[in-house]
Amino acid sequence: MFRSRAKTEKSPTDQVTADSSQHPRDPEAPKGRPTPKRSEAQSQRRRAATTPLDRKAAMKRQREARRADLARQREALASGDERYLPVRDKGPVRRFVRDFVDSRFCVAEFFLPMAVVILIASMVRVGQLQNIALLLWLGVIVMILVDSAGLAMRLKKQLRERFPDEPKRGAVAYGLMRTLQMRRLRLPKPQVKRGERP
């Protein structure tokens, strides 16, 4: 009984909004809400101007921004500009690790060319040559392991001395992964010459 009555009768606010939509508001009459501050009104206008009207425009804008970011990252990887480097390459610790690795010869950086030579030698159908290829393969792996262990110990020591308060998690693994790349293919590009102190 009460429900049906509530449904049929309009609330006073509904009547007011209906009346106001039918009759235009008098310019002298109060508007029923506070006037926004100038800064708020300007920010609302700016937001309305920057908000795209459709999803296609928003997606296009996002793609362009992503493309620009990637282009900046590529340039930074080539030049060593810290501002636009990827997160994994940023910071003084990572820069020092890169310089430490790039300033010396590492056996691991010649792994790929040596692996190709050994693979070709092992495919030749000569028993003696295949035995030599197998021995070479074992020798290369042992040399890489010994060289990498020595490099890791020296790098840890240097990091402890130079960056006692900086977080160094993953820095040694980052350096060892860099040794596996040939010098000219490393990214970010080497900023120091061989034999130069980092």
Residue 192 lies in a domain: no
Residue 115 lies in a domain: yes
Residue 68 lies in a domain: no
pLDDT digits (tens, 9 = 90+) for 110-139: 999 999 988 888 888 888 888 888 899 999
Show the domain range for 137: 105-185
Residue 129 lies in a domain: yes
DSSP state of 59: H
Q: Is it the case that residue 189 has pLDDT exceeding 50? A: yes
pTM: 0.65
- Return all residues near 152 (Cβ < 8 A) that are at least 6 apart: 172, 175, 176
Query: What residue type is 138 in one-letter code?
Result: L
pLDDT digits (tens, 9 = 90+) for 48-72: 555 555 788 888 889 998 888 888 8
Share of the chain above pLDDT 70, in %: 80
- Residue-by-residue DSSP string for 116-152: HHHHHHHHSS-HHHHHHHHHHHHHHHHHHHHHHHHHH
Residue 24 lies in a domain: no
What is the domain count for the chain? 1
Residue 157 lies in a domain: yes
Residue 155 lies in a domain: yes
Q: Is it the case that residue 177 has pLDDT exceeding 80? A: yes
